[in-house]
Structure 1
Amino acid sequence: MPLATLRRATRETVSGLPREFWWLWTSTLVNRLGAFVATFMALYLTLDRGYSASYAGLVASLHGLGGVVSSIGAGVMTDRLGRRPTLLVAQSATAASVALLGFMHHPVAIAAVAFLVGMASNASRPAVQAMMADIVRPEDRIRAFSLNYWAINLGFAVSSMGAGFIAEYSYLAGFLIEAGMTAVCAVVVFLKLPESRPGTEKATATTDDVRLGTVLRDGRFMSVVGLSFLVAVIFQQGSIGLPVAMGEAGFTPADYGLAIALNGVLIVALQIPVTRFIQDRDPQRLLVVSSLLAGYGFGLTAFAGSVGLFALTVCVWTLGEMINAPTQTGLVVRLSPAHGRGRYQGMYTLSWSVAALVAPLMSGFVIDRFGAEWLWGLCAVVGTVAAVGYAALMRHLSAATAAETAVTEKSEESEKFEKSAATEVSPA
């Protein structure tokens, strides 16, 4: 792609978004630049503290369980207290708990604080997504979510490289740096982001009508949550099943690092042009294609016998990830009522948190009992099921939307006719 064309594409992708979005985007980027705990927790516990691999796995599970617990609570807070207060509480609590974790030595204390870190760090997600939906126009949301996803991966890629050098010097320094960066995010939110909850006075009354039971009874939305869970279980295998399978096949950690590094590199390099390609495309087709790319990308891993072939499979499912993330997030916003976005986003976040708990158990069981080839075959099956589910859901959703539009147009025409008739019979 010529440089001038690339510049024009980038300018068109980032233009037209409100200033508040860019402050939120900056907060996301700074947060991910400081990521340390999730990346190096296992190494910290086994190499620095001398604990067993099973204990490290327990702590990782408790960290994930904290995210599951906070998903729903943070969604309710986002609707009741507002987006901005929830972000401030979540990021302040994350900064404090991460700093505290660096000073813990007793195994029970480490596990308990890791649970708190998981709760606090995951609590900001529903608020971020709801605020983004509030401040960005509907036609720009896919672009905005894609840019936010790009910031997450750019920050993670940079932090992963930097954290490796920091860990060689001091793991405690890594914890304190992450705590400091998260505190900076809280300051950005406090100084630059106004509350975005629509119609604060009206929202208080309307929000009472949108309860967790309302979300659970919303069949269309819960179908999206279920399909999101299936896709999330597949993508989790990049950091769970793939390193185990490559290790059993005789490849080194460096080989795995080389292959998986392509995931972050491709997202950072291609997310913006991919966004331009998908922003006006049919979401049904995008979700179906992304599910198949994810499922069969991991499915092809069964035939990989070299680092190059493993890297090729990473390229396939990474493309599915780049298409799925912004499209699915846009669908979630589309199905969420404005005054209940926090609860809806919390339930959507829950699907990924539960997947983070289920995926390690599933991959370990399948690899131990049947072999890695069965895991990759299962990924292909799950991807196919998700693709069929999205196709059916979006078909019904399109039909329902068309019916709702027709009813709205008919109502508007009737209202215009009544006004016209009233004008004709009114005295001069």
Structure 2
Amino acid sequence: MATLFKNYINTFRGLSTEIWWLALITLINRAGTMVIPFLSLYLKEDLQFTVSHIAWVMSAFGLGSVVGSWLGGKLTDSFGYYKVMVNSLWATGVLFIGLQFLNTFATICLGIFVVMLVADTFRPAMFVALNAYSKPENKIRSLTLIRLAINLGFSAGPALGGLIITGLGYGGLFWVDGITCIIATLVMIKVLHPKKAKVLDEVKVENPVSAYSDGIFLVFLVAMALFGIVFLQYFSTITIYYKDVHVLTEFEIGILLGLNGFLIFVFEMPLIKWLENTSFTKLGLMFFGIVLTGLSLFILNLTSWSGILIIGMLLMTFGEMITFPFSNAFAVERAKKGNQGEYMALYSISFSIAHIFGHNAGLQLTANVGFNNTWYIITGIAVICAIILFVLKENLKTNKTKTSWKTKKIS
């Protein structure tokens, strides 16, 4: 046991102090995002919205995320990641507190749009900051540490969120979320001010390539948007499925969602460390992760036994653990060819687009064709995503072989 623990600790060695601070800031921020998993339930139970209305609110959520990610990339390339991150954090905190006072369909849609626009300017800036604060050889592990912080926050958040709903109602979630964003801002100002933080990998490209002209990257983004549609069912449709079909309480739903974050906290870093040393390519690993995620929804139709929910959560969690770190790393690697903010903004936008269509499609499908057919359709999307990644992997492999052959011929 002592050896196992020592090996686990060793997977974190070599990461910069700034990355650890960035992870702490992310943990504080994400621990408060307990509103997000419960948003569809809040709209349904507290505001008495119809499923159709909830679907459109979630689309407003995604649209705000798209605009925010695009704007975040532009602002990061113009003003630097630090200013964008600080201003995004404190403004998001204030807006989350104000969101609870909106109660009509139109104002909720507008409010969610504005909150996500401001909140998601943070994401491209955070990816660029992560790249700057990490040594080149530690990129994937640094990305994984940030994801651990996110998921540790998500594991505590939903469980705490369930308790807050029980004791204070849904309004308490908005206060906690807003306050944690403001606390994260104060921590960042204290420890990651440009005068204190050490940049380890500042990339400057003389003639940057536009991300919009990088065909391989654009195809990759299509696959990521499809993966996002599948994955995001766990943050809207699945919570209603848990409650309506398996009759789970909000606290039980929070515990089940928290299991996801806990497993990632324990297993992701050792898993990524091990996978880095295998012969699998990043795209090959993403292919496997997407297959697991699609399978996690498909098996829900196999039995009415509630234990299948845990098995589904395990499959989704390992699929997520494999797909996200290596997709992040693939995007960061491609970003070194051009404006980093633009590349990472497009990467963030691919998931924001998934927010626009994923929540809405899942909720509308459940309302019209039922949960069982919805899981079959979403599994089909996962299959299409896996096929795209497989073709892209083979294409890159072929291009690499041709490039190697030409280099040998010239020499």
TM range (shorter): 0.7 to 0.9
**Does the CA contact (< 8 Å) of 1:88 and 1:186 recur in 2?**
yes
The aligned counterpart of 2:71 is: 73
Identify which of 275, 279, 283 aligns with 1:278. 275
The aligned counterpart of 2:381 is: 382
Structure 2: which amino acid aligns with 1:312?
A: I
Shift of 1:46: 5.1
**Does the CA contact (< 8 Å) of 1:198 and 1:339 recur in 2?**
no
The aligned counterpart of 2:328 is: 329
Distance 2:178 2:215 in 1: 40
Query: CA offsets, 1:146-173, max 9 Å, x none?
Result: 1211111111121222233333226554
- Pair 1:229 & 2:216 matched: no
Distance 2:183 2:407 in 1: 46
Matches within 5 A, 1:16-415: 16-45=14-43, 47-48=45-46, 55-104=53-102, 108-167=106-165, 168-169=167-168, 171-194=170-193, 209=208, 214-246=210-242, 249=245, 251-253=247-249, 259-281=256-278, 282=280, 283-337=282-336, 339-401=338-400
Structure number, greater radius of gyration: 1
Identity of aligned residues (%): 25
Structure with the larger RCO, 1 or 2 (CA within 8 Å, 6+ apart): 2
The change in CA–CA distance for 1:183 and 1:263 in structure 2 (over 3 A counts) is same
Structure 1: which amino acid aligns with 2:215?
A: G
Instruction: Compare 218-227 and 92-101 and name the one that shifted more.
Output: 92-101
Shift of 1:13: 1.3
Structure 1: which amino acid aligns with 2:119?
A: S
Structure 1: which amino acid aligns with 2:230?
A: I
Q: 5+ unaligned residues in a row in structure 1: which ranges?
A: 414-428
Query: CA offsets, 1:272-307, max 9 Å, x none?
Result: 332222222322331221121112222122203211
Distance 1:229 1:163 in 2: 28
**Does the CA contact (< 8 Å) of 2:63 and 2:356 recur in 1?**
yes
The change in CA–CA distance for 1:386 and 1:170 in structure 2 (over 3 A counts) is closer
Instruction: Compare 288-297 and 367-376 and name the one that shifted more.
Output: 367-376
**Does the CA contact (< 8 Å) of 1:198 and 1:338 recur in 2?**
no
Structure 2: which amino acid aligns with 1:226?
A: V
RMSD: 3.0
Q: Normalization by structure 1: what TM-score? A: 0.83
Query: CA offsets, 1:108-157, max 9 Å, x none?
Result: 44443322111111111111112112222232222111121111111112
Q: Normalization by structure 2: what TM-score? A: 0.86
**Does the CA contact (< 8 Å) of 1:304 and 1:310 recur in 2?**
no
Instruction: Compare 230-239 and 191-200 and name the one that shifted more.
Output: 191-200
Distance 2:340 2:68 in 1: 16
Distance 2:113 2:237 in 1: 23
Distance 1:250 1:287 in 2: 31
Distance 1:246 1:157 in 2: 17
Q: 5+ unaligned residues in a row in structure 2: which ranges?
A: none
Distance 1:89 1:326 in 2: 26
Shift of 1:219: 0.5
The change in CA–CA distance for 1:405 and 1:122 in structure 2 (over 3 A counts) is farther
Shift of 1:67: 0.8
Alignment length, in residue pairs? 403
SS at match of 1:86: helix
Shift of 1:59: 3.5
The change in CA–CA distance for 1:295 and 1:29 in structure 2 (over 3 A counts) is same
Query: CA offsets, 1:52-85, max 9 Å, x none?
Result: 6655554443233211211111111111211111
The change in CA–CA distance for 1:336 and 1:121 in structure 2 (over 3 A counts) is same
Structure 1: which amino acid aligns with 2:212?
A: L
**Does the CA contact (< 8 Å) of 1:260 and 1:311 recur in 2?**
no
Distance 2:110 2:231 in 1: 27
The change in CA–CA distance for 1:292 and 1:242 in structure 2 (over 3 A counts) is same
**Does the CA contact (< 8 Å) of 1:36 and 1:174 recur in 2?**
yes
SS at match of 2:5: helix
**Does the CA contact (< 8 Å) of 2:96 and 2:175 recur in 1?**
yes
SS at match of 2:277: coil
Structure 1: which amino acid aligns with 2:307?
A: G
**Does the CA contact (< 8 Å) of 1:84 and 1:194 recur in 2?**
yes
